[in-house]
Amino acid sequence: MGGNTTGSAFRVTTWGESHGPALGAVIDGCPAGLELAEEDIQQALDRRRPSTGVASTTRAEEDTVEILSGVFEGRTTGTPVSLMIRNQDARFASYEALKDVFRPGQGDYTYFRKYGLRDWRGGGRASGRETAARVAAGAVAGKLIATAGMKVLAYTKNIGGIEIGNMCVSPSEEWIKKVRENSLHCPDEKAAAVMERKLAAVREEGDTLGGVVEIIVSGCPAGLGEPVFEKMDAALACALMGIGTVKAVETGDGIDVAFKKGSEVNDQMNEKGFMKNSAGGILAGITTGEDIILRAWCKPIPSIACGQQTVDIQGRNRSIQIQGRHDVCVIPRIVPVCEAMVSLVLADHWLRQKAVRL
């Protein structure tokens, strides 16, 4: 009930606060026999870390993962895999000044209303830092589904209105390389350079930018997903909308199909398979075997340096100006989180599928 667990066959529970001793995840249901080492997870965590680019904060977290259980002699044993990341740079003095105040656009007010108290150090559990645990668990999921040929790629589609063109279907190795090498996780170098300039300008203003992440899953077998409440697109929408910054989620041609006719939208088939993929790899909530295509629309980071009006826990007016280390754009750090969340859903549904036929 507590809402910190996801999945039914590949179950992941995360825990931890921004400025507590550590963050972590427990994976229950990872099949026995999967090769797994801390390096596999560390790579994903490193991609989530603040880069040296203009988009990022200066918080210097190493984010070193430790596998505490469930792996023996280099393979998973079938018992829970416990992952832990110690918080190393947990200075919270800068938050003390705002401990009685609700920062606009953050979870401060809603956590207080939910629980009657809150951990005000860096947003506590509502901090984006919590996603490190998801990325760690997602890396294990990613390794698992890779054994079935699935590959999940997320990349920056748009920052502050600067949008890159469509990729060809099923990302090529070259395209993936470009995503991995660019500090904004954007495969179009020229667009990325424009984004960087815009980010630098907005940072000067003490303001922040949003954007769009696109996620492509290639190699997903047909037949994954459930008929009614846990349709594959529903599960994926839940996964992506469950990232703090995401305000809208699309599958396939998404928004555009609302304005088209059935004859334009239906993906007809012939002996070679689907003739196009407007559906984005999912029909009636179940995968078609085509690429799964998703887009997550992200709001700008709410921690801005500009002055803002708010109230404190007594409900009195307060004017604040947020200090401290903050990113100017969340997109580069959200890209690996999107990959992780999508991988978790696929791992779960892939395992569930094993019991569907006699």
For a second copy, the binding residues in 239-278 under the rule CB under 8 A are 239-242, 244, 247-255, 257-271, 275
Give dist(CA 51, CA 63) in Å, integer. 13
* Cβ proximity of 142 and 41 under 8 Å: no
Give the footprint of a second copy on residues 137-196 (CB under 8 A): 144, 147, 158, 160-161
Q: Which of 283, 335, 338, 340 binds a second copy (CB under 8 A)?
A: 283
* Cβ proximity of 220 and 77 under 8 Å: no
321 lies in the binding site for a second copy (CB under 8 A): no
52 lies in the binding site for a second copy (CB under 8 A): no
Tally of CB atoms within 10 A around 229: 8
Give the footprint of a second copy on residues 192-221 (CB under 8 A): 202, 205, 207-212
Q: Which of 51, 92, 105, 176 binds a second copy (CB under 8 A)?
A: 105
324 lies in the binding site for a second copy (CB under 8 A): no
Q: What does the block give as tokens for 197?
A: 């300039």
Query: How many residues of this chain interact with a second copy, rule: CB under 8 A?
Result: 155
E strand or H helix at 232: helix 232-241
53 lies in the binding site for a second copy (CB under 8 A): no
Residue 49 vs 299, nearer CB to a second copy:
299
- Tell me how far, at minimum, the Cβ of 324 lies from a second copy, in Å: 14
- Return the SS3 of 212: strand
Helix axes 38-48, 131-146, angle to 10 degrees: 130
- Tell me how far, at minimum, the Cβ of 282 lies from a second copy, in Å: 8
Give the footprint of a second copy on residues 285-304 (CB under 8 A): 285-289, 297-304
- Tell me how far, at minimum, the Cβ of 105 lies from a second copy, in Å: 4
- Tell me how far, at minimum, the Cβ of 182 lies from a second copy, in Å: 19
* Cβ proximity of 124 and 106 under 8 Å: no
- Tell me how far, at minimum, the Cβ of 39 lies from a second copy, in Å: 17
- Tell me how far, at minimum, the Cβ of 156 lies from a second copy, in Å: 12
Query: Which amino acid would we find at residue 268?
Result: Q
List the x/- string, 112-141, binding to a second copy by CB under 8 A.
Answer: -xxxxxxx-x--xxx---x---x-------
24 lies in the binding site for a second copy (CB under 8 A): yes
- Tell me how far, at minimum, the Cβ of 165 lies from a second copy, in Å: 17
In 59-144, at which residue ranges do the beta strands (DSSP E only) sit? 65-67, 71-72, 75-76, 81-86
- The sign of the dihedral angle between the CA atoms of 50, 51, 54, 58 is positive
DSSP string, 275-324: S--TTTTEETTEE-SSPEEEEEEEPPPS--SSEEEEEBTT--EEEEE--S
Backbone dihedral angles phi then psi of residue 160, each to the nearest 5 degrees: 55, 30
Residue 79 vs 172, nearer CB to a second copy:
79
237 lies in the binding site for a second copy (CB under 8 A): yes
Strand partners, 214: 155, 295
- Tell me how far, at minimum, the Cβ of 60 lies from a second copy, in Å: 21
Q: What does the block give as tokens for 200?
A: 């630098």
Q: What does the block give as tokens for 176?
A: 């993936």
Q: Which of 54, 111, 185, 346 binds a second copy (CB under 8 A)?
A: 111
